[in-house]
Structures are given as structure tokens and as C-alpha cells.
């Protein structure tokens, strides 16, 4: 009897093992997908996957490899993502798994034509998670992914999570596939997607270091002269001067109308967007010192989501921001804290108001989803549907009121 129980237990143990599935070493985990316009087919799709044995150190006596050595790209032309995966499986010996994908990148030219059909296909996948991050490459998605060489993070999926999901600097929005899909379908908010790019640099410096080309931000990115982020350049991806192995960067955002990209905004705009949408947790921000025109550095904390009050009859939108900060630079000897708080508050208010008006008037977009906040203003869905907010939005007065306080000032003299 004991022998029978032992055999049965052994049999069940075999069933619980991965005999019927794929062994981990037989799988290539996709961490990112890039979509460019194809020449022979609809799309040129770049599949970036992690070499699991390099992460775990299985092929090295000294442990896992560094970030740049554990990712590999394969690019194929195909009419859709699944056809590309099938084709690539004939090139790479391992079976691709999409369950760990963290980023989907679209080229600018593709985004400007419209990415609705691609998003509709991906969102229906039972492998790709709906919270996968999105980005628009300033040029080619393939070029961007080929330049991703994480030098700190060993796990490439973690690298994308930190850059696109947990980056607190505020220069890019945090947009995932599900958010984009719902905004596209509901048509009550214009989507914004992070801009990804490759630093344009060339070797040739006298000291052996790289020097930037004429495409770099030192020539192109405008210097912000307003009080908010005073003297900071309004960068977009590909403009920041970087001297290092990893030439990829994410900075600024692409603005969409429906599923089509219609323009770009810089990193300072990205901080204002996150501030107004309530996703800016903390960030170092410089403000103009009115007494001597020098930057004043504060670390801002957004301790509460913004409050929006929309008055349809009087055509006003009042936005309250709730901010605290620590002072990181001394403006001058024996400065007045209350006076400094008032100046910074005015800078935040005016910069936020100008940002909303610029996007509304120049791009015709509502990227803050103000139309989505109108629901409680109407008694019925019919009356809400009859109101054409998109046409009336330009007539609204925008008023921002920041509740700003400096908590810690350090030594005053």
C-alpha cells in the first residue's frame, strides 16, 4: 500500500512540474516593442527581449551581466504584431513571451498618421498587460530601442518601469495603453504620451570625450524666461546633451487628437501638466528671484489632487493646487519668506494658466480632461451630450489658485 501511495505521489509531482509547458530557458521575455512604418509590409516591428540566462548569471561564473548585455533586438516587417512575433520565432530559437512587456514605442511618422488600429489590436491581447507604458519616438522606434543600454539596472523591464512609471522629475507624463485606449474611445480628453529620443552626439573632442552635434539642445531648446522653471530649457527628447554609453532619453510629450499625434510639448510643459493633473509627487523647480533675477530652487511636494470647479453659466474654470516645498537655495541676505512665497505662488498661477491656454488655443486640445469633469453639472446624460464643450472651451476663463507654502527654509542668514 505504501508503495502505491509513493508511486501516486511521484506521478502527481511530475504533473505539477513544467513538463507540459515551456522551460524558463526556452523562453525569451519581450520587454519592449517598437512600431515603425514598413516598406514591404504595413509595419516594421522591433522586438526587444531579455536574455534570461544573462540576468540570472547562468552563463557566467561571475553572476549576471550588465544591462546592455542582457537585451537583444530583432526587427521584422509584418502586417501586425502577432505576425511579427511568429516570424521572429523562426529567427530566434526561443519562444517569445509578451507577459513581461513594459513599453510600446511608436515612431513619430506612424503616430502622426494614427495608431488607433495598432492600439485596438494590442489591447485585446491576453498576454500584454493593459498598463504597459507608451512612448512616441522623436524619429525611429527601432533607433530608440537600439540605443537603450541601461547601465545601472540589470533588469531591462525594471529600467522602463523606473523611467516611464516611477520617474518623479515630472518632465514626462505617465501614460499607459489602457489610458490611451479609453481617451481615444471616449473622445473627452486628448492623450499625451512621453517623447523618447536618442541623443545626437559624435566623438571628436580634444579630451577624447563626445561633443554634441548641431542638433543638440544647446542650439535648439528654448530657454524658459517665465518664473516657473526660470532659466531652464524646455527640452524635448533627443535634445539633452548626454555623454555616456546610454544615448536614449525620455523628455517632453507628444499631444494627440484622437489617435493622431498633432504636436509636441517640452519638459517644462510636462511638469506643468503633471502638476495640473495631480501626478507630480515631488520635483526640484527653479523660480525667478524678483530682487536680483537669479534662480531660487525649491523642492515641491503635491500633497493633494487639484480641485476643479467649472461654472458653465459664467464660463470660468477655477483650479486649486495644493503644494508645499522646501527651500534649497538662499535668495539673498535677510530675505522675506512671505514675500518669496507670494512671488512663487504668482509664478505658478500664471505659468499654469498660460500653459492651459497655449494648448487650448494653439492645438485645440483638452489634455487635462476638463470635459470629463462636466458630468455632475448636468441632470441627464442627454443634456450633457447636447452641450458642445469642445466648441465652447475657447470661451472659458482659466483661473489657477495655488495654495503654496515653504515648510523648511534652512539658515536664513
- The CA-based angle 72-77-81, given to 5 degrees, is 75
- Name the burial class of residue 356, with classes exposed (0-12), middle (13-18) and buried (19+) by CB atoms within 10 angstroms of its CB: buried
Determine the pLDDT at residue 331. 81
**CA pair distance 144, 211, nearest whole angstrom:** 20
Query: What is the number of H-type helices and E-type strands within the chain?
Result: 13, 15
Chain segment 368-385, per-residue pLDDT in tens: 999 999 878 888 888 888
47-75: average pLDDT: 65
Q: State the maximum Cα–Cα separation within the chain, in Å, rounded to a whole number.
A: 93
* Ramachandran area for residue 258 (φ above 0: left; ψ -120 to 50: alpha; else beta): left
- Total Cβ atoms within 10 A of residue 200: 18
Chain segment 199-245, per-residue pLDDT in tens: 865 444 444 444 444 444 445 778 888 889 999 999 998 887 666 66
Determine the pLDDT at residue 150. 75
Q: Would you say 55 and 140 are in contact if contact means Cβ atoms under 8 Å apart?
A: no
String of b and e for 224-263 (b: at least 16 CB within 10 Å)? bebbbbbebbbbbbbbbebeeebbbbbbbbbbbbebebee
Chain segment 154-187, per-residue pLDDT in tens: 677 888 988 898 877 678 999 999 999 999 998 9
Alpha carbon of 184 to those of 132, 133, 155, 369, 411: distances in Å?
16, 16, 32, 12, 50
132-146: average pLDDT: 94
33, HSE (Cβ side, Cα atoms, 13 Å)? 30
Determine the pLDDT at residue 309. 96
**CA pair distance 14, 21, nearest whole angstrom:** 12
- Total Cβ atoms within 10 A of residue 20: 7
Chain segment 200-213, per-residue pLDDT in tens: 654 444 444 444 44
Domain spans, the chain: 25-195+251-260, 281-413
- The CA-based angle 21-23-27, given to 5 degrees, is 100
287-307: average pLDDT: 91
Residue with cell 458630468: 375
pTM of the model: 0.85
346-372: average pLDDT: 96
- Total Cβ atoms within 10 A of residue 380: 8
275-285: average pLDDT: 92
End-to-end CA separation in angstroms for the chain: 87
295 beta partners: 288
Question: pLDDT class for 54, splitting at 50, 70, 90?
Answer: low
Stretch among 37-41, 57-61, 253-257 having the lowest mean pLDDT: 57-61
Mean pLDDT score of the chain: 84
The contacts of residue 105 (CB under 8 Å, 6+ apart) are 32, 33, 34, 35, 134, 135, 136, 137, 141, 144, 145, 196
Question: pLDDT class for 143, splitting at 50, 70, 90?
Answer: very high
> Which CATH architecture is the domain 281-413 placed in?
2-Layer Sandwich (3.30)
Amino acid at each position: 500500500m505504501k508503495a502505491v501511495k509513493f508511486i501516486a505521489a511521484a506521478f502527481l509531482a511530475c504533473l505539477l512540474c513544467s513538463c507540459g509547458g515551456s522551460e524558463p530557458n526556452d523562453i525569451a521575455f519581450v520587454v519592449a516593442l517598437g512600431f515603425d512604418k514598413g516598406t514591404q509590409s504595413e509595419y516594421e516591428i522591433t522586438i526587444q527581449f531579455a536574455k534570461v540566462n544573462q540576468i540570472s548569471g547562468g552563463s557566467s561564473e561571475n553572476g549576471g551581466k550588465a544591462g546592455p548585455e542582457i537585451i537583444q533586438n530583432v526587427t521584422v516587417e509584418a502586417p501586425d504584431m502577432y505576425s511579427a512575433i511568429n516570424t521572429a520565432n523562426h529567427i530566434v530559437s526561443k519562444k517569445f513571451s509578451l507577459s513581461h512587456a513594459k513599453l510600446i514605442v511608436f515612431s513619430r511618422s506612424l503616430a502622426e498618421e494614427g495608431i488607433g488600429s495598432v492600439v485596438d489590436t494590442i489591447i485585446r491581447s491576453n498576454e500584454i498587460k493593459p498598463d504597459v507604458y507608451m512612448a512616441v519616438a522623436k524619429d525611429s522606434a527601432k533607433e530608440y530601442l537600439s540605443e537603450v543600454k541601461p547601465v545601472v539596472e540589470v533588469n531591462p523591464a525594471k529600467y522602463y518601469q523606473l523611467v516611464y512609471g516611477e520617474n518623479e522629475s515630472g518632465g514626462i507624463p505617465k501614460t499607459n495603453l489602457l489610458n490611451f485606449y479609453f481617451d481615444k474611445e471616449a473622445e473627452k480628453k486628448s492623450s499625451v504620451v512621453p517623447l523618447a529620443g536618442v541623443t545626437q552626439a559624435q566623438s571628436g573632442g580634444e579630451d577624447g570625450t563626445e561633443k554634441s552635434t548641431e542638433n543638440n539642445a544647446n542650439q535648439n531648446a528654448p530657454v524658459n524666461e517665465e518664473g516657473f522653471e526660470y532659466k531652464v530649457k524646455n527640452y524635448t527628447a533627443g535634445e539633452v546633451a548626454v555623454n555616456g554609453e546610454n544615448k536614449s532619453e525620455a523628455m517632453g510629450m507628444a499631444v494627440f487628437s484622437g489617435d493622431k499625434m498633432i504636436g509636441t510639448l517640452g519638459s517644462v510643459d510636462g511638469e506643468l501638466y503633471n502638476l495640473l493633473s495631480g501626478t507630480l509627487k515631488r520635483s526640484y523647480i527653479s523660480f525667478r528671484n524678483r530682487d536680483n533675477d537669479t534662480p531660487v530652487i525649491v523642492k515641491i511636494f503635491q500633497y493633494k489632487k487639484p480641485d476643479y470647479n467649472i461654472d458653465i453659466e459664467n464660463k470660468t474654470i477655477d483650479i486649486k493646487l495644493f503644494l508645499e516645498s522646501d527651500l534649497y537655495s538662499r535668495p539673498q541676505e535677510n530675505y522675506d519668506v512671505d514675500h518669496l512665497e507670494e512671488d512663487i505662488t504668482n509664478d505658478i498661477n500664471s505659468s499654469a494658466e498660460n500653459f492651459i491656454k497655449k494648448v487650448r488655443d494653439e492645438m485645440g486640445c483638452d489634455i487635462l480632461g476638463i470635459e470629463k469633469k462636466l458630468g455632475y453639472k448636468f441632470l441627464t446624460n442627454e443634456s450633457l451630450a447636447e452641450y458642445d464643450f469642445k466648441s465652447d472651451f475657447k470661451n472659458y476663463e482659466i483661473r489657477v489658485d495655488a495654495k503654496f507654502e515653504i515648510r523648511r527654509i534652512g539658515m536664513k542668514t
